[in-house]
Structure formats: structure tokens, C-alpha cells
Amino acid sequence: MSFEVLHQKAVDHLADRSPHVRMAALRTLGDLGDQYREKRQRIVDELCDYLRIPPDTSDAGEGQVRRTAQMVLAARLRPERGKGATATNTSFWPDMEVDLKRAFLRDVYFSGCEFLRADFDEAQFEGEAHFDDARFIGEARFVGAAFLGYEVSFQRARFEGVSWFRWVAFHGYAYFQGSYFGFNAEFSRSQFSEDAYFDHTTVVEHAWFTHAVFHGPVTFRHARAERATFWLDSFRAGTDFRWAQFTSPPEVYDCEAFGHADRYWPDNWVELAAEDTPGIAAPWPAGWVAIVDEAHIAEIRDRRKSPP
């Protein structure tokens, strides 16, 4: 049979009531892409289209069908490179653009996968999400994504293009140890409900954490960045910047911290209690401190010395 006949048959079966028929159809699409190289991007788009359909909560097999679609996709995006950086996975499809914007994903395992471009804006991740050792060659978007499971891991992931993690909700533990950002790392307005780890992370240009909220401990030990900006951030547990290196001193404006957990700031950051700046700084809740950089504290002291 021709590709079109086999393809149409598989696509029609994606609407079948039986989860087993739908899973077989998804595997058939993967097999067709293995055979017809020029049709691969089309099949990737169709797998993504399926994952954007809201799940039928009345279908007991829907979760397994969704995981099958994710596994078929991940198996074709994982090169399994050997010592010479040559892909050893004979089913690897290079240079694929993955559009999972507003997708509904469960127990994602994209570890070691390569994306020419990836769009996960406003995607919902239920269960665990693993992107360890993944490579994002072009733009990587996670704007407004919600990670609802116990943990999400981007350990040693490489973001070689522009990446966006703005407005992301991390409901579980967030692991970014050893990740690499070839341009900016944008985490503005994101919420971290549990521990967040950025140890040994490298940002070639600018790391943005404006309006980020860290409900659990966060660590940046041995992290490296050209520049970093923390503005109106909230640190509500332990914080550790020991051995972090910044080419330019990190900028911090009107951040806040709370509690008695250990906090290790970069050398140019200073904690101020409300009584330290009467009439100068806006008041903050009792037990909280404001975090400013040394240049800012010098400015506050100069203003206090000046006559009204």
C-alpha cells in the first residue's frame, strides 16, 4: 500500500473508541515516519495535534494512549549519540520542530532528545517531566507552562537558542543542575513551590528572575552568568549563592526574604530590616527583610543624610 493509504488509515483509527486501536495507530505513524523521511515533520505535527486534544476523563485508557504518543515522539527525537557525536539511534529524526503549545502531557520522558525548535507554551505536565540531557537547538518556549507533578528535571539540558520560562508554575521540585543557556535564561514571574536547584548552571548572557517567587529553598552554587537580574523576587526559604560567578555584579532591586533559614547571598547583596530605612523604603511585613545591592544601600544612606 502507498503511504497515503496507510497514513489515512492510521489517522482514522486515532478517533476509535478502543484505546488499544488508538495506541496501534500511533505506533503505525511512527513506523511510517521511519520509512518515509520526507513525511516526518508532518507526522510529528500530527502526534502533537493529538496531544493538544483535551483528555477524555471518562476513558480509563486515555492516560496510556497519551503516554504512547509521547513515547513514539520521544523515541524519534533521541539520537543516542556515541563518542564521535554520531547518532546511534537508527530511528532518530533530526531537525524536527515540536509544537506542543497548550498540550496535555503525562509522565513526560524527553531526556536526551533534540529539538530544532520546541514550543511548550501553556502546556500542562501531569506527573513527572524529564528533559535531562535534552538539546534545544533553536528557540525553546515554556511560557505559562504548568508542571503539576512531583518533579521536573532539566539537568544538563542545553538551550542553544533563545529560551523562555516566563510565568511557569513549578509545583514540584525543579532541577536545572548543569544546564547550559547559550543566550538569556528567562524565569521572570515564575513560581517555584518546592526546592529549586540551579547549581553549576551556565548562562552565556543574561539570567532574568524578575518577580520570581521561591517558596522552597533555592541554590545557585557554582552557577555562572554574564549578568543576572533579580527584581521584586521573593525568597521564602533557604537561599545559597555560594561560589556563583558573575562577570558583572548581579543586579538586585527590592527583593524580599522571610524566615530563619540559612541564606548565602552574592558579595554585593545586603539585607535590610524595615527599621534600617525609616521613611525611605516602603514597609514590608514583620519578619521579612529587603535585599538590595551595595550601590542601592549607599544611595539610601546618602538620602538619609540629606536634609528634607
Average the pLDDT over each of 15-29, 103-117, 193-207, 247-261 and give the range with the smallest value: 247-261
b vs e for 139-157, b when ≥16 Cβ sit within 10 Å of the residue's Cβ?
bbbbbbbbbbbebbbbbbb
| Percentage of the chain modeled with pLDDT above 90 | 77
The tens digit of pLDDT for each residue in 122-171 reads 999 999 999 999 999 999 999 999 999 999 999 999 999 999 999 999 99
Predicted local confidence at residue 83, as pLDDT: 67
**Planar angle of CA 229, 149, 163, nearest 5 degrees:** 35
Section 60-89 average pLDDT:
90
* Nearby residues of 77 by Cβ (< 8 Å), 6 or more positions away: 92, 93, 96, 98, 110, 113, 114, 115
pLDDT at 59: 87
Q: How many CA atoms lie within 13 A of 231 on its CB side?
A: 8
Burial class (CB in 10 A: 0-12, 13-18, 19+), 258: middle
Q: Which residue has the cell 528533559?
A: 131
pLDDT of residue 306: 54
What domains sit in the chain, N to C, each tagged with a CATH number?
91-305 (2.160.20.80)
What is the pLDDT at residue 302? 62
